[in-house]
Structure 1
Amino acid sequence: MSLNAGPVRAHAAEQGFVLLLPTDVYIGAGVACVALTVLLLALLPGSVLAAAFRPIPLLRFPARPRLRLVTSMSAFCVLFALIWAGLNGPRDPLTNPLPLFVWTVFWVGLVTVQGLFGNLWAWIDPWSGPVAATRRLLGVRPVLRLPSRLGHSGAILTFLAFVAILLADPAPSDPARLAGYVLGYWFFTYMALLTFGPRWMYRGEGFSVLMRSYARLSLFGRAGRRGAIGLTGWRALRRGRPPLGIALFMLLMLGSGSFDGLNETFWWLARIGVNPLEFPGRSAVILQNVAGLLIANAALVAVFALCVRAGLWLIRARMGLREAVCLFAPSILPIALGYHIAHYLTSFLVDGQYALAALNDPLARGDDLLGLGAFYVTTGFFNTQDTVRVIWLTQAGAVVIGHVLAVMMAHAIALRSFGGIRRAAISQAPLAVFMVLYTLFGLWLLASPRGL
């Protein structure tokens, strides 16, 4: 018998190198940074914090609603081209453009851009243009009024359904399966908008509520009739208290994102009786992950409400718990965005290359639409400890900065609502402890070994 040796293509796992880093030192430094921010804010005059969140006016620019309909129609055409590719293109999710654009370009890239730079979603949602065209051509008008008592439950349910597919579906990246999901959801939302009118977009459509929530954090926005730029969170502070449904939605954004990382860890797999070194496949843990998603979100909402209630009790405030939860919920958004960036950074570095290659050759026929020639995806940045250290510190930095901004936003809200540095600082003590501990939790997630 003879054995023929040949080349093997492989790369060292990024997580393996992370376990070799002094993550305990980095985690301690990150937690200390957030804790010191809490102490510093308790001593600083309120005017300093107010000045930090004051936006700088930019050029005046008019609103262009008709142009938004054109860009929405263009996004609709792109979406259906991707659905067609999902049904008729290659079956490999790393060469078919639909999975790459849904899970990488949209869910990772667009959500991040939305939170950092502005409300891009308002220009490219794939429903506004088609619905406006349908109404104009057929004279269709909304036939039902969306009941106010439903609040934002539609948006909450559609968002949780999306996260459940992301975390628990046996094959969320299968092109044909994903095409069915995308087409079904697009048609469902299209019919809901025709039936209930634009109110559905604000109360029932989960992605639009998600994008508007993250847009509250963007550096750029409108201040009156002028554009403006300011510290992350200035738009959320200017908009004031959201309704209860939006406040709960914001908390679910954080809870769902956190469980998205937790469900991959050895700790979680041990809790549900799965050997992480012999993972049986996603189909074996569907119910466990769906239940974990719901429990994690319920626990986060309960702990957040308890911290807010404790803060009100400490200063003997007459504000009700519901009002206070709505008031402070936007301060959670920087944490959610920071963890979103950190959690998906490594996958974006790799899958973003596959998305570019798929755009260059969407049907895997050897096309060269972008003139990139032979395109080779590299994962060389996972092969050395030095490059992995840079990646991990970038992830940890996103988590820490998100918590620092959250502490600053919460303190600014308390100053505006309760008055006086001492009173605001005391009211924020329980919530500050929560944010410091959540920093520890988020950094622990980044450093924990994973079994998927």
Structure 2
Amino acid sequence: MRALGLLTLLLVPLATLASAHASEQGFVLLLPTDIYIMAGVATVALTVVVLALLPAKAGHGVFRSLPMTPVPSLGARHVTSLLSTLLLAFLIWRGFTGSGDPLSNPMPLFMWTVWWVGLVSLQGLVGNHWRWTNPWTGIAALLAKATGLRAPFRYPRKLGHWPGVVIFLGFAAFLLTDPAPADPARLAAYAGFYWYTALLGVVLFGPAWLVRGEALTLLMRAYGRMGLWGRARGRLAFGLWGWQVLARPAPALGLAVLMVVLLGTGSFDGLNETFFWLGLLGINPLEFPGRSVVMTQNLVGLVVSNLALLLAFAICLWLGERLAGMRRPLREVFCLYAPSILPIALGYHIAHYLTSFMVDGQYVIKIANDPLGNGMALLGLEDFYVTTGFFNTPGTVKAIWLSQAGAVVIGHVVAILLAHALAMRSGVDTRRALLGQAPLAAFMVAYTFFGLWLLASPRGL
């Protein structure tokens, strides 16, 4: 594995030969893309080759966790959840009463910059903070204690995680197709309605609704399997991204589908902004007429992209089973390998939103300094100005691009390592494991190419 890391360091920096300038959420490289795409794809392909040469236990050993201090059972998570509820209430109030400018109102800045970019990334990179920061468990516990009532209905087991999958697709449709997803009042109305209906689900079905039917909790719990820090046998433990996947049983089918949909949705989030996509729709990207004109096309594209990815993933698994001479049910294999998609989805999520986070994050600091817009400087930043100067110097542009490309490549490398460890955990011998993973590995190498191409493609939105 030391050799693999060294070769990664040697290959990925080849991307530094490319120069770039900033776009809305990514860079448009002015030089041919052959060098950095070749470097990234070669790194991922080399990972496959190295795994074939390493001893059978090496792939699984990479994800061995390091147990640390015992984790006490604290009730403080209900307190922090209540604080999150109060914060959400404040944001909704400011969404309705504050400025109509999305960059001056805390509602859209918190929802799309702090939560969707920052906290989702933190969940996957570090560990499960959602059990402390979600805005439902605290108020649900408070209501249960105050009334003494239990949930009147039992969550139907037949529904599985499918309500959460459907609701997440609705969330993705709002994010990608709504004409004004950052309009403060509009977003506040949607957020308030969603919070209330999710709380209603908890009241009716108990905590089972959060872990089965509430889309944002499913999203966070899925990415929580990727965190460096987690719990193992009552102790705080640390390991390589993905070690918690191996410490848990395979997910149910609905949750496995959601894990793949996270990648499909993230990929289309990048694709629908490119000149390529707008060209397919017959729209001049330099004269973009507005999101309302492409609502239907983007909605269809979102659905088709996810269906195509699910089909491609399933075909790769089916072919792998045939090559390895195994006849396990496709459903079983799909659920086994679906978590290996999470590192790719997380890597692209971070890369795709990095540049917008660097700019909008400054507006978050500005709002935090004066949350009520009355001239107060709570953080003592009277003369704070938002800058985009880091997009104008070659050194910082190069560093930003390498960070984006590195997130994509590292995500794919971890995914291949994780897929190999999952195969070995299922009890097959090394030869069958390698044969069975061959189509999936080819799929991941091809997706590396696609992800880097998306980062480099010019954008029209």
| TM-score bracket for this pair, using the shorter chain length | over 0.9
| 2:265/2:305 contact within 8 Å kept | yes
Aligned to 1:241: 250
| 2:27/2:456 contact within 8 Å kept | no
Answering whether residue 274 of structure 2 is matched by residue 271 of structure 1, we say no
Q: How many residues align?
A: 441
Aligned to 1:103: 112
Instruction: Find 1:23's aligned residue among 24, 30, 33.
Output: 33
| 1:14/1:382 contact within 8 Å kept | no
Which AA in structure 1 matches 2:35?
V
Instruction: Find 1:250's aligned residue among 228, 253, 259.
Output: 259
CA distance in 1, matches of 2:25, 2:106: 27
| 1:244/1:322 contact within 8 Å kept | yes
Change (3 A) 1:50 1:17: closer
Answering whether residue 101 of structure 2 is matched by residue 92 of structure 1, we say yes
| 1:268 Cα deviation after fit | 0.7
Greater shift, 391-400 or 356-365, is seen at: 356-365
CA-based RMSD: 1.4
| 1:140/1:194 contact within 8 Å kept | no
Task: Show CA shifts across 1:259-313 (max 9, x none).
Answer: 0000000111111221111101011111111110000000000000000000001
| 1:420 Cα deviation after fit | 2.2
Unaligned runs of 5+ in 1: 1-10
| 2:324/2:436 contact within 8 Å kept | yes
Answering whether residue 162 of structure 2 is matched by residue 153 of structure 1, we say yes
Which AA in structure 1 matches 2:168?
F
Aligned to 2:68: 58
What are the within-5 Å matches in structure 2 for residues 200-215 of structure 1? Answer: 200-215=209-224
Answering whether residue 123 of structure 2 is matched by residue 114 of structure 1, we say yes
Aligned to 1:348: 357
CA distance in 1, matches of 2:451, 2:406: 11
Q: Secondary structure at the match of 1:351?
A: helix
Aligned to 1:436: 445
Aligned to 1:285: 294
| 1:20 Cα deviation after fit | 1.8
User: Structure 1 length normalisation: TM-score?
Assistant: 0.95
CA distance in 2, matches of 1:286, 1:92: 22
| 1:342/1:395 contact within 8 Å kept | yes
Which AA in structure 2 matches 1:79?
L
| 1:22 Cα deviation after fit | 4.8
What are the within-5 Å matches in structure 2 for residues 146-225 of structure 1? Answer: 146-225=155-234
Which AA in structure 2 matches 1:444?
W
| 2:27/2:458 contact within 8 Å kept | no
Instruction: Find 1:138's aligned residue among 147, 152, 173.
Output: 147
Change (3 A) 1:188 1:401: same
| 1:15/1:449 contact within 8 Å kept | no
CA distance in 2, matches of 1:232, 1:289: 32
Answering whether residue 425 of structure 2 is matched by residue 423 of structure 1, we say no
CA distance in 2, matches of 1:84, 1:206: 23
Which AA in structure 2 matches 1:53?
F
Instruction: Find 2:410's aligned residue among 395, 401, 404.
Output: 401
| 2:60/2:424 contact within 8 Å kept | no
Which AA in structure 2 matches 1:24?
D
Answering whether residue 54 of structure 2 is matched by residue 48 of structure 1, we say no
Task: Show CA shifts across 1:164-199 (max 9, x none).
Answer: 111111111111001001000000101111011111
CA distance in 2, matches of 1:186, 1:422: 49
Which AA in structure 1 matches 2:322?
W
| 1:16 Cα deviation after fit | 9.3
CA distance in 2, matches of 1:13, 1:182: 29
CA distance in 1, matches of 2:22, 2:444: 34
| 1:50 Cα deviation after fit | 2.1
CA distance in 2, matches of 1:343, 1:12: 12
| 1:423 Cα deviation after fit | 1.4
| 1:108/1:348 contact within 8 Å kept | yes
Aligned to 1:8: none
CA distance in 2, matches of 1:201, 1:182: 16
| 1:89/1:362 contact within 8 Å kept | no
Greater shift, 22-31 or 12-21, is seen at: 12-21
| 2:25/2:354 contact within 8 Å kept | no
CA distance in 1, matches of 2:336, 2:153: 31
CA distance in 2, matches of 1:368, 1:158: 39
Change (3 A) 1:15 1:328: closer
Unaligned runs of 5+ in 2: 1-20
Task: Show CA shifts across 1:317-355 (max 9, x none).
Answer: 131100000000000000000000000000000000001
Greater shift, 398-407 or 412-421, is seen at: 412-421
| 1:254/1:335 contact within 8 Å kept | yes
| 1:444 Cα deviation after fit | 0.2
Change (3 A) 1:17 1:182: closer
Moved over 6 A (4+): 14-17
| 1:89 Cα deviation after fit | 1.0
Instruction: Find 2:383's aligned residue among 374, 398, 402.
Output: 374
| 1:53/1:233 contact within 8 Å kept | yes
| 2:26/2:455 contact within 8 Å kept | no
Aligned to 2:49: 39
CA distance in 1, matches of 2:279, 2:134: 40
Which AA in structure 1 matches 2:392?
N
CA distance in 2, matches of 1:30, 1:88: 47
| 1:14/1:388 contact within 8 Å kept | no
Which AA in structure 1 matches 2:46?
L
CA distance in 1, matches of 2:279, 2:131: 42
CA distance in 2, matches of 1:195, 1:343: 38
Aligned to 2:17: none
| 1:388 Cα deviation after fit | 1.4
CA distance in 2, matches of 1:308, 1:104: 36
User: Structure 2 length normalisation: TM-score?
Assistant: 0.93
